[in-house]
Amino acid sequence: MIIDDLAELLSKFPGIGPRQSRRFVYFLLRQNRNYVEQLARSILELKKETAICTECHQFFPDTVSKKLCRICSNSARDRSTLMVVEKDVDLENVERTGVYNGVYFVLGGTVPLTNEEPEKFIRLNDLLARTKNGTEKDSLSEIILATNATTEGDHTADYLHSKLALFATNENVKITHLGRGLSTGTELEYSDKETLRSALSNRK
């Protein structure tokens, strides 16, 4: 029935289990028609009105099929520094704090500890292509591996480091990691301005 079907769809959301997804369905049933219709419309339009930036691979609002997000198309950004983050929300949070003026690359995930098919979980080939052929390739001097301070985040940074090492040596590009003044387990998504500023200035 419809309640089960919708609950099943919602249970696929990150961090949402079957019990929570049923609570969402009953919440929707209690809302007025306007709210539910607006929600349904927004979901339909979400895919239509967003695109993935061809340079940093973040999702961005796009109704005129531009290729670049507002960060990658901004000539005032410092193209000598490329920050590699796990997810769109990490990029959003760093932007919100305003402490970083370089450019980004969104991996889209982390490498599993088993190391099985890493390229299925992160945009490794796009990252390699970006560092080698991106618009900043001539000015690129540093890649900051800003994965989260979690076991998988650290593992992903190590993996990327090994994949980028040869390129970095040949092109004289520094590979750095965010400083860890913070307790283990801290995620970029939740870091405040001061924490990020200190993590950036203590990168090595």
Smallest gap from Cβ 62 to Zn ion, in A, equals 11
Task: Give the shortest CB-201-to-Zn ion separation in angstroms.
Answer: 24
Query: In this complex, which beta carbon is closest to Zn ion, that of residue 86 or of residue 155?
Result: 86
Residue number, 91 or 145, with CB nearest to Zn ion: 91
**Closer residue to Zn ion in complex, CB, 7/72:** 72
CB of 60 to Zn ion, least distance (A): 7
Cβ of residue 168: shortest distance to Zn ion, in angstroms? 22
Q: Which is nearer to Zn ion, 55 or 136 (CB)?
A: 55
Residues making contact with Zn ion (CB under 5 A) = 53, 55-56, 69, 72
At a CB cut-off of 8 Å and minimum separation 6, what does 113 contact? 151, 152, 155
Closest contact distance (angstroms) between CB of 104 and Zn ion is 7
Is the Cβ of residue 100 or residue 195 nearer to Zn ion in the bound state?
Answer: 100
CB 103 to Zn ion: min, Å: 7
Give the strands of the sheet with 78-85, arranged side by side.
102-106, 78-85, 142-145, 174-177
* Cβ-based nearer residue to Zn ion, 110 or 126: 126
DSSP string, the chain: -HHHHHHHHHTTSTT--HHHHHHHHHHHHHS-HHHHHHHHHHHHHHHHTEEE-TTT--EEE-SS--SS-TTTT-TTSEEEEEEEESSHHHHHHHHHHT---EEEEE--S---TT-SSGGGTS-HHHHHHHHHHSTTTTT--EEEE---SSHHHHHHHHHHHHHHHHHHHHHT-EEEE----SPTT--GGG--HHHHHHHHHT--
